[in-house]
Chain A
Amino acid sequence: MWIYEKRLQFPVKITKTCPKTAQMIISQYGGPDGELSASMRYLSQRYTMPVKQVGGLLTDIGTEELAHMEIICAMVYQLTKHLTIEQAKEAGFDAYYIDHTTALWPQAASALPFTSIEFQSKGDAITDLTEDLAAEQKARTVYDNLLRMIPDPEVREPLKFLRAREVVHFQRFGEALEKTKEKLDSKNYYYFNPEFDKGMMKTEL
């Protein structure tokens, strides 16, 4: 069950229309390292996590990623809310306009549609947590790239916030991996799959 809270985790108030910026930022909505992908990754992986605490962390971070998706969507929405046809043509936003007008649709900056092919839920706790560490780094790099490209402070402030969250999540996934390792034999972490060979974990969970 989820509970909706009618506010953004970080405020977004963008006064200047800029379809070019919208087209770049939309990648963090539906792109390969975007917030939707992040949320679906963690919320998919959590069910079979052998360490309960780690499943809990995946739920909490997966939920926060939904809030981040909402921040990104609010930014794209505000950047194109008063879009004119001339602006769409000049900025190369015309192709998106043809298919979606100014509605929100999850795609990458390159126009690649959102797809679950971009993330994994592998059924092995070490594999999945290592993927999660990488995912946070990939998302951070996207925010770094966006911050190099975009000068408008109204857009940069939320992007800086979202970037900082990637760093925090990386730390938490690292701690989750350590918690998982504690239940395994350090002589060989790979002797069995902790998510499948449940009986072989160190303690009852």
Chain B
Amino acid sequence: MQEEHLAIASIPIQQWGALYDEKEAMAAGTIFRDLNKPFFAAEIEKKDIKEAAPKSEEQRERETLLTKIAETSFLLDDLTLYLDTHMSDTQALDMYSQKTKERDELKKQFAAKFYPLTRDCIIYCESGGKFCWQDGPMPWEGACV
């Protein structure tokens, strides 16, 4: 149904295709294999980033959970933009609802164990009578993940 015409830009509509798993998607910057178009100068370096100071058990646990939240959330970010232009794609819709449930559950767990990521998670904190919204490091400190 798409037709090309003179004097206006045309972009083919993306078809649903193979996806990366959540960890790969973060590294690729997209969940869609078809949209991964890396820059050659970005591919030549070695990837290993050395771990700094040893981490406490609590920090390790916090980072594992926050990484999971980041990955699930990013999948949903990318999927949202896809759905914005593919509103009736059933595979994308199914994945959206499943992953949103997972994200909700992870955010609740994180609030209960560590600190709230969004204001609607404040109620899951065990903060002992204190407003916990300011708990945890600021995201730009690089302290977590």
**Residue of B with least CB distance to A56:** B84
Does B92 lie at the interface of the complex (its beta carbon under 8 Å from any beta carbon of A)?
no
A6, B107: Cα distance in complex, Å: 11
List the interface of chain B (C-beta within 8 A of A).
Answer: 2-3, 5, 7-14, 26-30, 32, 35-39, 41-42, 45-49, 52, 66-67, 69-70, 73-74, 77-78, 80-82, 84-87, 115-120, 136, 138-140, 142, 144-145
Which B residues lie within 8 Å of A176 (CB)? 85
A181, B4: Cα distance in complex, Å: 11
Determine whether the beta carbon of A163 is less than 8 Å from that of B29.
yes
Which A residues lie within 8 Å of B14 (CB)? 171, 175
Among A74, A144, A161, contact of B39 (Cβ-Cβ < 8 Å):
A144
Determine whether the beta carbon of B35 is less than 8 Å from that of A153.
no
Determine whether the beta carbon of B29 is less than 8 Å from that of A13.
no
A125, B41: Cα distance in complex, Å: 35
Chain A: interface size category: 35 or more
Least CB distance, A88 to chain B, in whole angstroms: 20
Which A residues lie within 8 Å of B5 (CB)? 181, 186, 189
Listed A/B pairs (25) with beta-carbon separation below 8 Å: A3-B119, A4-B118, A6-B115, A6-B118, A6-B138, A7-B144, A8-B140, A9-B77, A13-B145, A53-B85, A61-B81, A64-B81, A144-B39, A157-B47, A160-B38, A160-B39, A160-B42, A163-B39, A164-B36, A165-B29, A168-B35, A174-B11, A178-B10, A178-B13, A181-B8
**Residue of B with least CB distance to A141:** B39
List the interface of chain A (C-beta within 8 A of B).
Answer: 3-15, 53, 56-57, 60-61, 64, 70, 73-74, 77-78, 126, 130, 133, 143-144, 147-148, 151, 153-154, 156-157, 159-165, 167-179, 181, 186, 189-190
